[in-house]
Structure formats: structure tokens, C-alpha cells
Chains A and B, each alone.
Chain A
């Protein structure tokens, strides 16, 4: 009875202070528009706060936060696609040429043609592969963390990345 150890989860503020920079960077790289990134950044933290009581105290916060951010990005892409489909027939699956014209946000001024081209190729990947690629190369998660973030096995996270890389290399 006497040596019980109390595990009180970290205060949410501490978690925010620890991870806000990397989450912001991640969102900035995934989304092409800084305004979108700021928007989803807020959304990510509000959602995370609401869901925080349901997170097991022992589990790792970092992949969980990336999961929240990445799911929001996915939803945004989906809703964006739905919206733009009505106006022009231009979706996430648009052609590279279209996209280069579209991407003229401030973030891309320093981006070379190659990088823009790569971004466009990534955007036409299937959702899961795209998500895996983002988490791997933008957020720098390892496969175990990715598995938590994507709610899948480590093997399938690895497979998604490798499939994505294969496609990118084939089209390069």
C-alpha cells in the first residue's frame, strides 16, 4: 500500500510548449499556405485539449499530436477537394502543370522547380501513402511512432512509405 506511485499526466501547457514549434513546422510543410497552417495549428491544439483526457497517461504524446494534425490536414484536403470540384474540375489529383501555377504562396518563393514538382507528385499519392510520407520526411517520426499516429502496424507504415517512394522514383 505504502509505495504507490502517482502518475499525473503532464499539464497540457507543458505539452504545448514542448511541441508547438515542430507541429507548426510540420503543418507549414504539409500545407502550402501559411494561413491554412495557422488555422489548422489552432484546430490541432483545441482538438488535442478536448481529447487529452482520453489519452492513456503512459502513451507517447508526440505521435498522438502528429496524428491529430495529420488527420486535420487530410480532412482539409478532402473538403478542399470537394469544394473546388464544384467550381473548377481541379482537385488534389490535378496535374503538375496546373499546380505549379496555383502554388504561388509566400512559402514557395524560395522553392526550386524540383521541389515544387516533388510536392505536386506527393499530392497525387493515395491518402495513406501521402500521410506516411509526410510523417516520415516532414515530421521525422520513426516507424513505431508512425504506427501510433496512423493507427496501423509498423510494417504497414513502412510499406506505405516504400510504396510512395517507389511511385515518386518511377515518375521522377
Chain B
């Protein structure tokens, strides 16, 4: 008898009943053990939007990922990152609604975006804090990196805020496009500045692509005094810049519960 055949016979003829019985027993134990280490499921799909293709993931808790797609390698890397916290399931239908929401939002529907956001993919506690504070910035307003840093408990951490926003897993939903430089320049954006301008325009800012600055007719409002002023107001020179918001127009400021300044009378 050839030795190869003999090796093949090692273990005897494995009886199917034995294999099935062991499988049956093991499956139950595995299921129990897996339950404890299970990653939550997330529906994943690519949706089209006016802002380009988005890789979207939604979990039971809400939107977990809305990633601007650049190219295929980007897609692979993002899926790989997603997998460390979620078990992705290809489900185009479940995520399609996100595309509709973004479309409606850009068309001016204030209530279009859902409120449920899953911040599981936010790695760092500082980033969590920054994104949490950012969610309080309403549509029609922008905040500076500096002010957001101060609000997040790091008054000198404007750059760190920039980094935290750059890796925001759920842009649009967590409005990182509403953060600009404190000198009025638009600043950067993870999905490209063009998208940031597009989003801010849809929120009422009168922006010109070429300028790269927010327009002069906007007003700023102070978080503490609840007063809003023109940018040309003489109080602008000595205001605490970490405590102000910018609003697209006086109406937005009033909606945020502020009153006009009596010196510059912004209207």
C-alpha cells in the first residue's frame, strides 16, 4: 500500500454522525460566545448626492458614516476602517434614504437630515467632544476653529480641532462645514473646499467660489451677551473671538435668540 494512501486513511473513516454531532454541540457554544464579542451590524452602500458619491453606513443607532468618495482605493480603506467597529452588510436600500435627505437638505428643506447619528467611528474623546459641541451650531451660522476649540475645552487647540474635523466620519450630518477660520477665510474641508462652499451656500451664505472668504454682510453674535453686530461695528476690535458665531444674515441671528447691537444697528 502506498504511503500517501495510508496518510489519507489516518483518523479512520470519519463518521458523518460524529461530525454532525460535534458541529451541533459546538455551534451553540460558539453562538453564545460570539454574542459577547459581536460587532454591531451596519448597512453599507454607495449613494449618489448633489455633493458627489457618498459611502454611507447606517447602524441601528443612526448614520455612522457618510464618506465623500474620491477613488477606489479610498473605498477599500474606508471599508477596512469601518470593519473594525461594525460588521458591514451590503444593503443599498437601507442607506438610499441618506442620499434623499442630503438632496432635500441642499434644496432647502430644514428638517431633511435625520437626527440619529452614531458616533461609534469617532475614535478619540477630544474628537467626540468637538463633534458634540459642533452639533449645537445651527444652520445658517458658522463658528471659527478657535471658538470651537475654546468651547471644547482647548482654547489653544484650533489646529487640533481642524484635525478632529478632518476625520469626521459623518460630515453634513455633523456640520463640520460650518467651521471657518477666525479671520473670515473659508478654511479647508475633508471633502474639498468646493463642497464646503456648496453646503454653506445652501444654508444661506452668499459665497463666491473665487473669494474663499465669508461675505462682509454677515453678522457676528456673542454667545454670552446674545447681541449681534455688523463686522464693521467698532466693538468687533475687542470682542472675545472664542465666544462668537457668524450668521449668514440678521434673520438667522434673531432666530438664534439674539438682539441687534444698538451701536452698529445691523437691522
Q: Which A residues fall within an 8 A CB radius of B?
A: 1-2, 4-9, 11-12, 16, 20-21, 24-25, 28-29, 34, 37-38, 41-42, 45-46, 49-50, 52-53, 57, 107-112, 114-115, 118-119, 122, 133, 137-138, 165, 168-169, 172
Contact = CB atoms under 8 A, between A and B. Distances in A.
B76 to A, nearest CB: 7
Interface of B: 1, 3-4, 6-14, 18-19, 22-23, 25-27, 29-30, 33-34, 37, 39, 44-46, 48, 52-53, 55, 69, 72, 75-76, 79-80, 83-84, 87-90
A133 B3 CA distance: 12
Contacts of A50: 37
Counting from the closest, the 9 A-B pairs by CB-CB distance are A29-B11, A53-B83, A8-B90, A110-B12, A111-B12, A137-B7, A38-B22, A53-B84, A118-B6
A8 B53 contact: no
Contact of B53 (A2, A112, A168): A2
Contacts of A38: 22, 25-26
B22 A37 contact: yes
Nearest to A52: B83
A24 B23 contact: yes
Contacts of B72: 4-5
Contacts of B80: 53, 57
A8 B79 contact: yes
Contacts of A46: 30, 33-34, 37
A107 B12 contact: yes
Most buried by A among B52, B69, B83: B83
A123 B146 CA distance: 67
A114 B79 contact: no
B53 to A, nearest CB: 5
Given A12-B87, A53-B80, A137-B4, A28 B11 contact: yes
A110 B90 CA distance: 47
A123 to B, nearest CB: 10
Nearest to B22: A38
15 contacts: A4-B53, A5-B72, A6-B44, A6-B75, A6-B90, A7-B75, A20-B23, A28-B14, A37-B22, A50-B37, A52-B83, A53-B84, A107-B14, A111-B10, A114-B1
B79 A24 contact: no
A34 B12 contact: no
A20 B23 CA distance: 8
Contact of B46 (A4, A11, A133): A4
Contacts of B84: 53
Given A41-B22, A118-B3, A109 B12 contact: yes
Nearest to A10: B90
Contacts of A108: 12
Contacts of A8: 44, 79, 88-90
A42 B46 contact: no
Given A8-B79, A9-B83, A21-B19, A138 B30 contact: no
Contacts of B55: 6
Contacts of B87: 11-12
Contacts of B27: 20
A115 B9 contact: yes
Contacts of B30: 16, 42, 45-46
A111 B88 CA distance: 45
Contacts of A107: 11-12, 14
A6 B95 CA distance: 13
Contacts of A118: 3, 6-7, 9-10
A69 B5 CA distance: 23
